[in-house]
């Protein structure tokens, strides 16, 4: 068994949700419902943050196991869950465990992360300076969500997806004297499979790849909006 030693760096799992500050009251309700975390408000955004390892393991992990994520977010969650359980078991206090966590999680959420190979190398050098060399460690097998990620989308999942990443808007085209309606859901390109599932769920819409390493599900047809989108989202609330 690896011996606990003083380490110059320590991993800290953090769960956060960020939205426009107009969602402040909703975030307060989320905090009250879960009974964990804190809500912070700045000039533009409201952020719900959970840092306590006990709250993560005892509340968040069971929640996301019961209501699983999809696409790249499920991959990220499985890494997060594996690391959180390792930290709960104090494995991050050993050099071997710390290296395993570093290798496993450093580039999580790569589409939005500012982490680079150079920044990781700085952390590795800190460890080498302290210990003179690093042991070879085995790769960690992820703790996977046991649900079938190929199951059809549920209405609850779709509503949550739209709350976070969807929008409805009306545009005015003056050159042709037209008014257009538009419903979109935008996510990272790595989660494009979720948007493709929306096409099957609503039986309408189109998915586009964007230049910003993102993808967009879009519905512009008025009949589809009234006959397929509106009944599912509003008539059965």
Query: For the domain with range 155-235, which CATH number is right: 3.10.28.10, 3.90.1480.20, 3.40.50.1000, 1.20.1050.10?
Result: 3.10.28.10
The residue to which tokens 């703790």 are assigned:
143
Whether pTM exceeds 0.85: no
Q: What confidence score (pLDDT) does residue 115 get?
A: 87
CA-based nearest residue to 227, from 187, 181, 196:
181
- DSSP annotation of 23 reads G
| Helices within the chain (DSSP H only) | 24-34, 53-55, 61-66, 71-88, 95-105, 117-131, 155-165, 192-202, 222-224, 230
Q: How far apart are CA 79 and CA 71, in angstroms?
A: 13
Helix 95-105 with 117-131: angle, nearest 10 deg: 170
Q: Residue 232 and residue 154: Cα distance in Å, rounded? A: 11
pLDDT at residue 108, rounded to an integer: 86
Residue 5: per-residue pLDDT: 61
The stretches in the chain having pLDDT less than 70 are 1-5, 145-150, 176, 235-237
pLDDT for 14 equals 95
Give the Cα-Cα-Cα angle 185, 76, 121 (nearest 5 degrees). 120
pLDDT score of 35: 97
Domain with CATH 3.10.28.10 in the chain: 15-131, 155-235
Mean pLDDT of the chain: 89
Residue-wise pLDDT tens digits, 88-100: 999 999 999 999 9
Measure the CA dihedral 186/188/189/193, to 10°.
-70
Q: Report the pLDDT value the prediction gives residue 1, as an integer from 0 to 100.
A: 41
Q: Would you state the pLDDT for residue 53?
A: 97
CA distance 233 to 221: 16
Q: Could you say which of 3.40.50.620, 1.20.140.10, 2.70.98.10, 3.10.28.10 is the CATH number of the domain covering 15-131?
A: 3.10.28.10
């Amino acid at each position: 068994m690896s011996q606990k030693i003083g380490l110059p760096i320590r991993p800290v799992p953090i769960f956060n949700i960020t939205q426009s500050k107009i969602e402040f009251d909703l975030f307060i309700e989320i905090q009250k419902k879960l009974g964990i975390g804190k809500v912070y408000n700045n000039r533009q955004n409201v952020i719900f943050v959970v840092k306590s390892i006990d709250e993560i393991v005892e509340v968040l992990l069971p929640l996301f196991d019961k209501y699983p994520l999809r696409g790249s977010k499920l991959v990220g969650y499985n890494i997060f869950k594996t690391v959180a359980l390792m930290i709960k078991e104090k494995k991050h206090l050993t050099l071997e465990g710390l290296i395993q966590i570093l290798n496993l999680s450093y580039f999580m959420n790569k589409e939005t992360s500012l982490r680079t190979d150079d920044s990781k190398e700085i952390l590795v050098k800190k460890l080498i300076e302290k210990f003179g060399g690093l042991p070879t460690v085995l790769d960690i097998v992820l703790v996977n969500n046991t649900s079938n990620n190929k199951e059809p989308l549920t209405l609850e999942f779709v509503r949550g997806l739209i709350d976070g990443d969807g929008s409805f808007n009306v545009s005015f085209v003056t050159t042709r004297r037209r008014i257009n309606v538009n419903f979109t859901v935008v996510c990272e390109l790595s989660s494009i499979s979720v948007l493709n599932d929306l096409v099957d769920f609503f039986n309408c819409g189109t998915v586009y790849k964007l230049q910003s390493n993102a993808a967009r599900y879009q519905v512009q047809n008025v009949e589809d909006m009234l006959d397929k989108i509106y009944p599912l989202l509003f008539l059965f609330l």
